[in-house]
Amino acid sequence: MGLVVSTVQYIFGVGRDMDTPDEATGLTERQKDAIRASWALVSINLKGNGVSFLIKFFQDYPEDKAFFEAFKDKKPEELGDNPKMRAHASTVMHALTSVVDNLDDPECLIDILKKNAQSHFGRNIRIQQYKDLFETFIRFLQEGLGDKCTDLTKESWEKALGVVVSVIESEMTALSNGPTK
Ligand code: HEM
């Protein structure tokens, strides 16, 4: 019974401070809930949505396809058939799931993001490509979720992805400055 009551209280925010920004991320509990709720909808078809999102990304930013040897010359309508493209779509979606799962554990999130920055820096990918990807992501959410993507949903994701960008950017800056003595 106690568990039921506390779960209901949690879901409806009873007794939770919903509007004080978290020190590490700047996100409030209300914003974190909005992110989790929208991601639950996207996750109903994580793989399919990932493929549609990445196809949209390459339509919005065709120049970013150049980093992908396996499909850089493919037309947008051929991308869904490419296994390397589907693999990258899948990993991006799983990484976004880890962002959502770790909204309350920023130290873990930072570690995941730094590793991602390191592996991509070596491929000449820079912060602009991540900014491109996340701009498409917000439009993808709005188009996919329609009315369910409220102003709160959009502003919450923008804030969270702003944190993601700043972690990746500072790691890439450290990498471009070379090893510290
Ligand atoms: C949330 C953002 C992203 C995530 C989670 C992600 C994740 C990954 C992972 C897990 C891999 C394979 C293993 C590795 O080397 O780390 C990979 C490979 C790669 N990523 Fe990303 N990536 C992201 C964004 C980007 C962006 C913005 C670009 C460029 C526009 C990009 C380009 C690539 C390329 C070219 C590869 C190698 C692909 C291959 O060899 O088939 N990634 N990514």
What confidence score (pLDDT) does residue 179 get? 74
Can you give the pLDDT of all 181 residues of the chain as single tens digits?
Answer: 566 655 655 666 667 899 999 998 999 999 999 999 999 999 999 999 999 999 999 999 999 999 999 999 999 889 999 999 999 999 999 999 999 999 999 999 999 999 999 999 999 999 999 999 999 999 999 999 999 999 999 999 999 999 999 999 999 999 999 875 4
Asked if the structure places residue 44 within a domain, the reply is: yes
Asked if the structure places residue 155 within a domain, the reply is: yes
**Contact between residue 57 and residue 133 where contact means Cβ atoms under 8 Å apart:** yes
Does an H or E element contain 123, and which? none
Nearest residue (by CA) to ligand 1, atom 3, is 92
Question: Cα separations (Å) of 24 from 54, 76, 80, 154, 170?
Answer: 29, 38, 37, 20, 15
Asked if the structure places residue 5 within a domain, the reply is: no
Q: Give the 3-state secondary structure of residue 5.
A: helix
Asked if the structure places residue 6 within a domain, the reply is: no
> Model pTM?
0.91
Question: Cα separations (Å) of 122 from 74, 118, 119, 126?
Answer: 24, 7, 6, 10
Asked if the structure places residue 12 within a domain, the reply is: no
Tokens encoding 76: 């947008």
Number of structural domains (the chain) is 1
Q: What is the CATH number of the domain that holds 71?
A: 1.10.490.10
| Residue 143 alpha carbon to ligand 1 centre in Å | 24
Nearest residue (by CA) to ligand 1, atom 36, is 68
Asked if the structure places residue 11 within a domain, the reply is: no
Range of the domain at 102: 28-176
